[in-house]
A and B are shown apart, each in its own frame.
Chain A
Amino acid sequence: MMEKNLSRPKKVKILVTIVDRGIGQKVTKICNEMHLHFHYIIFGKGTASSEILDVLGIGTPEKDVVLSMAPVDRLKHIMPLLSERLKLYKPGRGIAFSMPMSGISGIISQLLNHEMDIASEGEVEKMESNTKYDLVISIVNSGYTDELMEAARSAGATGGTLLHARGIGYEEAEKFLGISIQAEKEIVTILSPREKTQAIMQAICNQCGVKTKARGAVLSLPVSHVTGLADS
């Protein structure tokens, strides 16, 4: 079986899909149809688009964040498929994008590249617009998301997704009787057009940087194949 696949294995990228809670199952189904069997669903939360909605308690819908791995050639097929099946082209349905990796475990790469029999006939329309995007990732102490989003929005961000995490510092976790304690963190991910990235990151740093109580770390990753983001 493997011998069929003599060509060099295609480069694998991370495919990130952010959709409403419950729709993540559909994403994994589509991935499986495309023989992409490595996917993980994380629970996230949308960030509020307005303060009034937020205070009224109806501003932060729950999200499924699906991480999958896909070889670049199949990525071209799955993006339009996702967009079509999940109606990502309509505003507010969700977004999908991919990110490059700098390395991957050999077995996974081989497994992903191995089911290559999918006919790649037909010219696939190019999904991306001319805008380039970055994924701005901020890791802050728990409870500072609102401030962070306010700063980011003032610099032109439209929305973000919130993930919960625990910090793992270089020092060992504190012990208390039978349990070990670690600080709660929140990870806020914002997809931003390239030209706004720097301003957004600067605004986040000013508001929630390492020197503030939020102890925020901010970084950005390059993103390609974006679909579902209203051009703004």
Chain B
Amino acid sequence: MNKILKEKIKESLSSVLPITILVVLLSISVTPLPIAIILMLLFGALLLVFGMGLFTLGAETSLTLLGEGVGAQMTKTKNLPLIIVVSFVMGFVITVAEPALQVLAEQVPAFPRTTLIYTISVGVGIFLSVAMLRILYKISLSYMLIVFYGIVIVLSFFTPNDFIPLAFDSGGVTTGPVTVPFIMAVGLGLASIRADKDSAEDSFGLVALCSVGPILSVMILSILYKTSDATYNLELPQNLVTTQDVVILFTAQLPTYFYEVGMAIWPIFLFFVLYQFIARAYTQRKILKVIVGFIYTFVGLVLFLTGANVGFVPAGYYIGEQLGKSSVSWLLIPLGMVIGYLIVATEPSVHVLNKQVEEISNGAISERAMMRSLSIGVAIAIGLAAIRVVTGISIYWFIIPGYTIALVLTFFVPKIFTGIAFDSGGAVSGPMASAFILPLMIGACDANGGKMMTDAFGTVAMIAMTPLITIQLMGLLNKQKMEAAEAAEAAEPIAAEDAIEEIIVYEEDNSDDGEEFVTSQEGQDTGNDC
């Protein structure tokens, strides 16, 4: 069997199975679920496996390839206004089309739909340009993050309380599975043609700054509109009797996601057509490859989103509700942490991020190490979110210390980890966070009579925040290990201490090994001079 296919199947199965098994186990023990709900979950999980496999297979030859190309070509023109304009347009167009943003806009009837979408998109566009300028003018990412998160915190004091969790959530939500791989690839493309030593660490950090845009946009809107009318609608399936009903439910939703994902992908495809037209970068075969890549990405995302939103939302809600009602509602905290640990692997953009991190660091930061740090981060995040749902304490108690720690850490960890950490905040808070974790919290909130807008929302914000800390801590550990190793090496004299750094030159003949030794004269000199 083809190696890559085998690898992909293994990867998707090992990502989706653990969380599925956990939910099934929960349903037969702590939180009994209706059989129909479990059936939906299993069917959804199946779609998730296929969707994830296709998406990660396609993203590399479509979103990533194109992002890298644009990033590299744009910089090569050395035309500053062009770079600013193209970055803005890219950020704007991709965000307008992001399906997660469409969902967010529907959930928040307080603002006119188009106003919300366009404000957030302008926010992302501006911040993408700013992020590119930051790299070109060599401004430290730490300073930029401190300034912008400082503004966010100050602005939050003027924002109506109901909207603060929502604002932070939208930062994580808008950087979805289409945006993250593409924007990240733009950074990689820019780095790939750079010769200076900062190029690896500057590969990351674009998504980080782009996540600030939506937070600011929602805050500004909520201040301007002076509204506190925030609600959220969750639709749960009714009247499921046969297995066929379940399948019908999925197929009924398929066109919706077909349309949504299509909306998200076509601007990028248009970019590809334009880019090819202007730069003529690809050969015919490559063009075919890119088109196939886009098809994979498209079909993969449609399957994935349908599986997640139809299959996982009800299960999440019912589990949350049962836990919230029960006398042991604190159980939500440890259970949430286990769920958080397992759910990270099911976020499609996480796989793209981890792959790119491994690639850029040439294996020094492995996919496994990334996954583990992210899993620990999200486990903590959901633990914190669950504490908020159970006790109802304000999001400020977590957001302010959390971001303070994350920002202070930026001064102590190697720069590349800061970029990766803040980028991963956008990557982990993807469709599964909204499709499973958020309903879980909403269910619990409904059952124990908490305020949904202030208690359940903010969950995604937590998920987007904790990886900033855990990834940077991994960087810190890494740095200490390196320093310890270096110290040990320095303390222990090199075994060959008396050897001077001389160069030994080998003779052409090869007397000491008796092997056939090939000299380079045998008819080799033709062909070299073409």
Q: Which residues of A contact B (CB under 8 A)?
A: 1-2, 8-11, 20, 24, 41-43, 51, 53-61, 64, 72-73, 92, 100-107, 109-111, 114, 128, 132, 134, 143, 146-147, 164, 166, 168, 173-174, 176-184, 194, 197-198, 201-202, 205-206, 209-211, 218-225
Complex interface: chain B residues within 8 A of A56 (CB): 292
List residues of chain A with CB within 8 A of the CB of B192. 164, 166, 184
A210 to B530, CA, bound (A): 7
How distant is B99 from chain A, measured CB to nearest CB, in Å?
Answer: 23
Contact B513 A73 (CB under 8 A): yes
Contact B504 A106 (CB under 8 A): yes
Give the distance to chain A from B354, nearest Cβ to Cβ, in Å. Answer: 13
Beta-carbon contact of A182 and B516 below 8 Å: no
Overall SS of chain A's interface? mixed
Interchain CB contact (< 8 A) of B2 among A51, A58, A114 = A58
B residues 506-529 with Cβ under 8 Å of A? 506, 510, 512-513, 515-520, 522-524, 526-528
Contact A11 B512 (CB under 8 A): yes
- Decide: B363 and A43 in contact? CB cutoff 8 A: yes
B196 on the A face (CB < 8 A) = yes
* Contact (Cβ within 8 A) B528 A198: no
Further pairs besides A2-B496, A54-B289, A166-B192: 16, Cβ < 8 Å: A10-B513, A24-B363, A57-B58, A58-B5, A61-B3, A72-B513, A101-B506, A106-B503, A110-B499, A143-B286, A166-B193, A176-B78, A179-B138, A181-B194, A182-B195, A222-B520
| B62 to A, closest residue via Cβ | A57
Please pick, from A43, A146, A177, the residue contacting B286 in the complex, using a CB distance under 8 A: A146
- CA distance in complex: A205, B527 (Å): 7
Contacting residue for A103 out of B505, B512, B527, CB 8 A: B505
Chain A's closest residue to B60 (CB) is A57
Give the Cβ gap from B206 to chain A, nearest Cβ, in Å.
Answer: 15
Q: Known: A58-B57, A218-B530. Contact between A1 and B495, CB under 8 A?
A: yes
Nearest-CB residue, chain A, relative to B135: A179
Name the A residues within 8 Å of B530 (CB-CB): 202, 205-206, 209-211, 218
What is the bound-complex CA distance between A202 and B528, given in angstroms? 8
Chain B residues within CB distance 8 Å of chain A: 2-5, 7, 57-58, 60-61, 72, 75-76, 78, 80, 135-138, 192-196, 198-199, 281-283, 285-286, 288-289, 292-293, 296, 359, 362-363, 494-496, 498-506, 510, 512-513, 515-520, 522-524, 526-528, 530
Contact A180 B195 (CB under 8 A): yes
Establish whether residues B285 and A51, one from each chain, have CB atoms under 8 Å apart when the complex forms.
yes
10 A–B pairs (Cβ distance < 8 Å), ordered by A: A56-B292, A57-B57, A61-B7, A114-B495, A128-B516, A132-B518, A202-B530, A209-B530, A210-B530, A222-B520
**Could you tell me if B285 and A55 are in contact, using CB atoms closer than 8 angstroms?**
yes
Name the contact of B502 in the complex, choosing from A24, A106, A206 (C-beta under 8 A).
A106
In the bound complex, what is the Cα–Cα distance between A105 and B512 (angstroms)? 19
Closest to B516 in A: A224
- Across the interface, do A105 and B503 meet the contact criterion of CB distance under 8 Å? yes
Closest 6 A/B residue pairs (Cβ): A205-B530, A178-B138, A222-B518, A201-B527, A72-B513, A110-B496
- Name which residue of chain A comes closest to B199, CB basis: A179
